[in-house]
Amino acid sequence: MNLHLSALLLLLVILLPSGKGMFGNDGVQVRTCTSQQAVCFFGCPPGYRWIAFCHNILSCCKNMTRFQPPQAKDPWSH
C-alpha cells in the first residue's frame, strides 16, 4: 500500500506543477504576486519569468511579453 501512495505522489509531483495537465493550469492568485501582475506556480512554466517566492514554496511568475521561447506557445490555440 505504501508503494502505491508513493507512486501516486510522484505522479502528482511530476504532472501538476508543470502546468501540463489535461486541463491546463492558470496559476494561483496571491495578493502579493498579483500586485506585480503575476501569478504563483510550483515552478515557472515556459514563457514565464521568475520574480519572487509566494508562501515559501510557490514561485511568483510573470508572463514574458517579449522573446518568448517556442515552448511557451500553446499548441491548441490557433
Phi and psi based region of residue 16 (left: phi greater than 0; alpha: psi -120 to 50; beta: remaining) = alpha
Blockwise average pLDDT, block size 10, the chain, 78 residues: 78 57 60 84 85 85 86 68
pLDDT at 21: 46
Report the distance separating Cα 11 and Cα 50, nearest Å.
24
51 Cα distance to chain centroid: 13
- Break the chain down into helix, strand, coil percent, rounded to 5: 25, 20, 50
Report the distance separating Cα 18 and Cα 61, nearest Å.
13
Kindly report the pTM of this predicted structure. Answer: 0.58
